[in-house]
Structure 1
Amino acid sequence: MKKLLLATALVAFSSGIAAAQTVRLGTEGAYPPFNFIDDAGQVAGFEREMGDEMCKRAGLTCEWVTNEWDSIIPNLQSGNYDVIIAGMSITEEREEIIDFSANYFPPAASAYAAASADADIAGGVVSAQVSTIQAAYIAESGATLLEFPTPDETIAAVRNGEAVAVFADKDYLRPFVEQSNGELMFVGDDVALGGGVGLGFRDSDDELRAKFDAAIESMKADGTLNAAIEKHFGPEAKKF
């Protein structure tokens, strides 16, 4: 009987350890307002707020890890963190490599920002961040793609004349355009790409993904996601 009780206690203890296991959230920290590093050196932005809330609702202890964008999927697969939460659009190509949660940001427009209203976005040099759906689109568009590791560099390329325009999420570009005093402007038509923004998981982590899916759906249902989208992206941002 004592052995049985001891075995039961050990099983319960082991289960408690598993339940309390820390889940590491990997983000870029360079894509405001989705994610950025604040003055205190901490991950901040829409995804920090929503990621913390997802973990709370899922009953998980979570910590944040930053990783450069161009290696963010390989480092998920190698176990450096457990979840990608980095403004990553859901695409068929990425779904061949990793699993996605339900989207926590709806499909939104990508747009061109340029220094001139007559910028040649059809045949000129257009900058985009490496390994993004926007870079893939430009590569097939007839324009010349100029890729950079970080989103800041894509905008700098337009300011310094290396590119005639930058192509990125419109919600990311909007504050740069609005605060540029007319030096930057949207040109051309908006383009719909991807299936919204979702969390990325290793194929083997179905149980973990299901916990986050449940949290996301509850946040859609009670309006938490829409309120956060408006807070971080403004009233004009697309919502659920």
Structure 2
Amino acid sequence: MKKLILTAAALVLSAGVAAAETVRMGTEGAYPPYNFIDDNGQVAGFERELGDKLCEMEGLTCTWVTNDWDSIIPNLLSGNYDTIMAGMSITDERKQSIDFTQAYYPPAASAYLSLTPDADLKGGVVAAQTGTIQAAHVAETGATLAEYATLDDTIAAVKNGEADAVFADKDALKPFAGTDGFEFVGEDVSLGDGIGIGLRKSDTALKDKFNDGITKMKADGSLNKLLVKYFGADSMTFKN
């Protein structure tokens, strides 16, 4: 009987450990090519492929959860998922509430996109996604900030005449440039310290696992290959 009890306890402990190794990856699902929902209703894109690879390397089982951008940090802190992989730039402000791995996407350019070559970027209305570093930057430029829930909404705002331009990650805007009269205007702006995986500050072991995987992928060049695959031959990459 004692042996049976010990065996049962061991099984419970094993199940607990296995459950702890299942990581819920939180993303937006509306920011291509970083993350988006494909025709099969599944999370896809650069961060899905990278996240799955990191979990495989570190012996973790990953599931993916989508969440609106404007509440993505509160829902991480509430325990609705364990990580954020959603094109989230590493900033000092965000570090006050959550932690980050090292960057898996280098510090890159943000840019303005407009239907008008001479759009007023300093005194006009500029659309940006709510809660982004781009929105914070626009608020400091003197332009009137118009915030929207998704990137697609910011593009629609310019089309509808609600805004003179949209300001966002340049790589996210590239698919729109050259279509429907959209073009890049003004100068690119460098913001943040790159993009990393967001985690609760208490999840130090999980952070170490992901950092280990990112370090290995930087060293063997496989992370750079993914960057080129999703963002093109002229994309920012890491030096080996």
State the partner residue of 2:146.
146
State the partner residue of 1:117.
117
State the partner residue of 1:190.
188
Q: Kindly report which structure 2 residues correspond to 1:196-207, keeping only aligned pairs within 5 A, or say none.
A: 196-207=194-205
Q: Kindly report which structure 2 residues correspond to 1:14-163, keeping only aligned pairs within 5 A, or say none.
A: 14-15=13-14, 17-21=16-20, 22-163=22-163
Tell me the distance in 1 between the aligned counterparts of 2:15 and 2:42. Answer: 29
The answer for unaligned runs of 5 or more in structure 2 is: none
The code of the aligned residue for 2:233 comes to: P
1:89–1:133 contact (8 Å) kept in structure 2: yes
Tell me the distance in 1 between the aligned counterparts of 2:140 and 2:16. Answer: 49
1:20–1:61 contact (8 Å) kept in structure 2: no
The answer for unaligned runs of 5 or more in structure 1 is: none
Could you report, residue by residue, the CA deviation over 1:179-234 in whole angstroms, capped at 9, with x for unpaired residues? x05x0111111000000000010111001111111011111111111101101111
- Amino-acid identity (%): 62
In the TM superposition, what is the alpha-carbon distance from 1:19 to its structure 2 partner?
A: 3.8
In the TM superposition, what is the alpha-carbon distance from 1:3 to its structure 2 partner?
A: 5.1
Q: Kindly report which structure 2 residues correspond to 1:205-224, keeping only aligned pairs within 5 A, or say none.
A: 205-224=203-222
Could you report, residue by residue, the CA deviation over 1:34-84 in whole angstroms, capped at 9, with x for unpaired residues? 000000000000001000001001100010000000000000000000000
Asked if residue 169 in structure 1 is aligned to residue 169 in structure 2, the reply is yes
Q: Secondary structure at 1:176's aligned position in 2?
A: coil
Tell me the distance in 2 between the aligned counterparts of 1:127 and 1:86. Answer: 19
Q: Secondary structure at 2:26's aligned position in 1?
A: strand
In the TM superposition, what is the alpha-carbon distance from 1:12 to its structure 2 partner?
A: 7.2
Tell me the distance in 1 between the aligned counterparts of 2:4 and 2:101. Answer: 40
Tell me the distance in 2 between the aligned counterparts of 1:9 and 1:104. Answer: 42
Tell me the distance in 1 between the aligned counterparts of 2:61 and 2:140. Answer: 42
Task: Give the RMSD, CA atoms, in angstroms.
Answer: 1.6
Q: How many residues align?
A: 237
Q: Secondary structure at 2:237's aligned position in 1?
A: coil
Q: 1:8 to 1:210 in 2, by over 3 A?
A: farther
1:26–1:81 contact (8 Å) kept in structure 2: yes
State the partner residue of 1:225.
223
